[in-house]
Structure 1
Amino acid sequence: MKVLSIVGARPQFIKCAPVSAALRRSCQEVLVHTGQHYDANMSDVFFRDLGIPAPDYHLGIGSGSQGEQTGRMLAAIEEVILKEEPDMVLVYGDTNSTLAGGLAAAKVHVPVAHVEAGLRSFDRAMPEEINRVLTDHLSALLFCPTDTAVQNLALEGIAGGVHLTGDVMVDALQRNRCLAAGCAPMPGLEEGGYYLATVHRASNTDQEGNLRSIMGAFAALDLPVVFPAHPRTRKYLAAYGIEVGANVQIIDPLPYLDMLHLLSHARAVLTDSGGVQKEAYILEVPCVTLRENTEWVETVEDGWNVLVGADRSKIIEETARAGGRIGRHSARFGDGHAAERIAAIITDYEP
């Protein structure tokens, strides 16, 4: 079995690490990096720290509008598929790399396998939601992290090829938690004495009012805010002339292990990232989500996460409450063996 795996963004590198390791025990894997995240701090360092093999192809697509970026990826990935003639194309998550990989494979009649299938925020204004839905509807194998994801697919009439595997992010956390514990703390930060923040979604960064409201809320919080800033976020902070509060420490994006260390010791995390919401849940760190909806509804249902959007007052109020919030914890995201299940299903696949 020859599998063409497509990654392009930070969350996909994290998910790819355990799956690639499991897959290579029984399959030939060809790894394609689209270059969607091209900053060294958001790309190269993840391959190094997570032990991911060097990509066989680096497409170097870079940034661009939604249509431009997806279109360039589609053409480049199709070329690789035609050259390599894989038995299956494996895609992860909900980025433009995911959709481009799925579309390119489907159009030349190569089966698609989707890791993290079935997630829904039910907000079609999010590009990620469009990517998820379309990729699921053209996939032959759909690897669902939760029961909710399976149910979402059933409601859309998708039942064939659906597998409840658990979440590969649990696998990654279990593999790397001990390594992250050995990372040096940032100077001046005490355990539980700071908030961690990430903001990168277009609905927050590209809308000046939302970004001003969020940064205004950060400035009003009672503890230091450590803010690893995505390049697009930095760009818009400068473009809008937004000044950050004296308690907000903007730093470069962090390697995975350092980010995991910071997250595990934070009083709470404020984020618009789907992956960080889930990591916070698994690490039992309260989360304040800077969105009106989430694809990870389990984190809200179990009490570890609250949705506040970009509302300044809500952000301040819920962050103040977050420090004392303890939710329920369960194995809703799996047992840390999702990658092994995925590799076994792919290995045994027959069209």
Structure 2
Amino acid sequence: MHYGIIGAGAMGYRFGVLLQENAGVKVDFIDTWQPNVEKVREQGGVYAARNHENRHLVPIDIFYPEEYKGQPDAWIIFVKQMQLADVLKRCAPLFNDQQIAFSAMNGMGHIDKIRQYFADDKIIGGTAMIATVLNGPGDVDFIGEAGAGEMHMANYTEEINPQIKAVEADFKAANLNPIVTDNFMGTLMAKVVFNAVVNTLCTMFELTMGQFIEYPGAKEMATQLMNESYDACERAGIQMISTRQEEIDSVDYVSRIGNPLHYPSMYQDFSKGRPTEVDYINGYIAKLGREHDYVCRTHEFITHEVHLAEMMRKYKK
């Protein structure tokens, strides 16, 4: 298949480069961040490393939306939640009825926006337990050993159709370790509830995942947040793909063993002065709860705490 990556950031580069290098498929990158596009063109590709080693130049084709003329079979969308509506609007002339749209973005809110451009049976949602760091324009670092981590994916209609099987085959060849499910919301929420613990707490206290899990009360904190998340999902009729305990254990394993040196993506945004996606993670869980007569008090408090930390940055200059 031919893929178009919308959003050449940390995860967009990771999926695109691995599909190009390991699966041998055609990949085009579409981005709206001018320093990134121009840097890639200047150096003839993107510099990619793994665990800060073996940094090498990967030749790629990158375009602004308005200049792209390709017709990919599938789009892979990795854009910050706050920017997605504008980016999709710029890309809209590139879409057609036959194309698939896959996204494994952090948080929730992106699917409703994607549905404005693609039919439900063409939309695949996913999660990716894969750590990646964008060092700067045209410079990305894949965290974790090759083949480590996994991802889940489901069609919006929850059918396992030929299109999702084709994407699954390419993702397997790319060494992304995809797992197809027939539970759309349960699949997506599994990553949201994970990020609502690790991303948010590591950001507020400027910690790596390993530093967070070192705290003796980390498991208790994770359990409190997970219980609220699962209570909200149950009231909303969302059947999760993993149990509460499995998610708590996942926080411990990924933080302690999988990526102990990793700063989550929310921290990467926060540390560079950018807005975080907390409203689409903890804020989304809190909103889901209130819509079903359940108050997620810890998630609501933490959402305010992150916004307070964002505001306080102006006093640290």
TM-score > 0.5 by shorter chain: no
Higher helix share: 2
Normalising by structure 2, what TM-score?
A: 0.37
